[in-house]
Amino acid sequence: MLDDSDDTDIHALFAGAPASTEFRKLRKRLVRETRAAIEDYGMIRPGDRWLVCLSGGKDSYTLLAVLHELQWRGLLPVDLLACNLDQGQPGFPATVLPEFLTARGIAHRIEYQDTYSIVTDKIAPGGTMCSLCSRLRRGNLYRIAREEGCSAVVLGHHRDDILETFFMNLFHGGRLATMPPKLLNEEGDLTVLRPLAYVAEADCDRFARAMGYPIIPCDLCGSQDGLQRVQVKQLLDAWESRSPGRRQVMFRALMNVRPSHLLDPALFDFASLFPKDSNLS
């Protein structure tokens, strides 16, 4: 069992980790929850190569560390290639990630594509850049995955991202949908994986900060305080503060769907739902 392992016997990405009992419990919880999501959603095909997307944020550092820990323990029989896409945002510290990855012996590819200029050309001043930026980033990551012989693009979205996306779709998109832990792309040649699907954002934050990873902020394009996602996050934070554990309860609901108790006739055959004929005289 993972919890019975020697805490000194860990991957280099955990080098310098705090020796406290609290941190050891956090590390083991991250590994356990990530392993559970990988197994529950059948993410592993032995011998595959995964493109692990590294933005420099707390979530992607956590993803990188935990996947390498699982691989190193023989629990993740795939090849891992870390990848950072430098999109040309002003002030982006281009040397941070290459130095971090090289120092730890992590196989990686750094790609420069100035999508920032495209976004600023298409989006009016004061507009939200995230949607177009995300689409351009995804297209480049798919291309890189194909060039590197990878079968999967692996992202650092966690439980809270998934829950927030559900509520954004509910409030603004008029649909019940979110980011699934495993998705086949439209072309059918790549899977998109989210192994941190069970992991709380707060745990990613605690882990990355405790490890002292060089976190790169995601607000290089300017303030995004008016984003719908920020508003949803604030709403969920308020619910969580009033009822601790509310996020986890809502997340479990996404795994306990009952089509017969919703309203989509494409998911449940309401038309043929009638009582059985009776022979009452």
What mean pLDDT comes out for the span 59-76?
96
Q: What is the pLDDT of residue 128?
A: 65
Q: What is the pLDDT of residue 2?
A: 46
Q: Specify the pairing of strand 152-154 against strand 49-53.
A: parallel
pLDDT classification of 1: cutoffs 50, 70, 90: very low
Q: What is the pLDDT of residue 26?
A: 97
pLDDT classification of 124: cutoffs 50, 70, 90: low
pLDDT tens per residue across span 85-98: 888 788 888 899 99
Using DSSP's 3-state secondary structure scheme, residue 86 falls into: strand
pLDDT of residue 204 exceeding 90, the answer is: yes
pLDDT of residue 248 exceeding 90, the answer is: yes
Which positions make up the binding site for [4Fe-4S] cluster? 130, 133, 221
Q: What is the pLDDT of residue 167?
A: 95
pLDDT of residue 232 exceeding 60, the answer is: yes
Q: What is the pLDDT of residue 4?
A: 43
pLDDT of residue 136 exceeding 90, the answer is: no
Q: What is the pLDDT of residue 214?
A: 95
pLDDT classification of 133: cutoffs 50, 70, 90: confident
DSSP output for 208-271: HHHHT--PPPS-TT---TT-HHHHHHHHHHHHHHHSTTHHHHHHHHTTS--GGGSS-TTTS--T
CA 249 to chain centre: 19
User: Which two tokens mark 66?
Assistant: 């935990």
DSSP letter at 3 equals G
Question: Which amino acid is located at 204 in the chain?
Answer: C
pLDDT of residue 46 exceeding 50, the answer is: yes
What mean pLDDT comes out for the span 243-264?
95
pLDDT classification of 115: cutoffs 50, 70, 90: confident
Q: Where do the structural domains in the chain lie, given as residue ranges?
A: 18-223
pLDDT classification of 277: cutoffs 50, 70, 90: confident
Nearest to 219 by CA among 121, 90, 60: 90
pLDDT tens per residue across span 152-195: 999 999 999 999 999 999 998 999 999 999 999 999 999 999 99
**CATH class (in words) of the domain with range 18-223:** alpha beta
Dihedral class, residue 214 (left if φ above 0, else alpha if ψ from -120 to 50, else beta): beta
Task: Calculate what percentage of the chain has a pLDDT beyond 70.
Answer: 88
| Planar angle of CA 31, 13, 71, nearest 5 degrees | 50
Mean pLDDT of the chain: 89
Which positions make up the binding site? 130, 133, 221
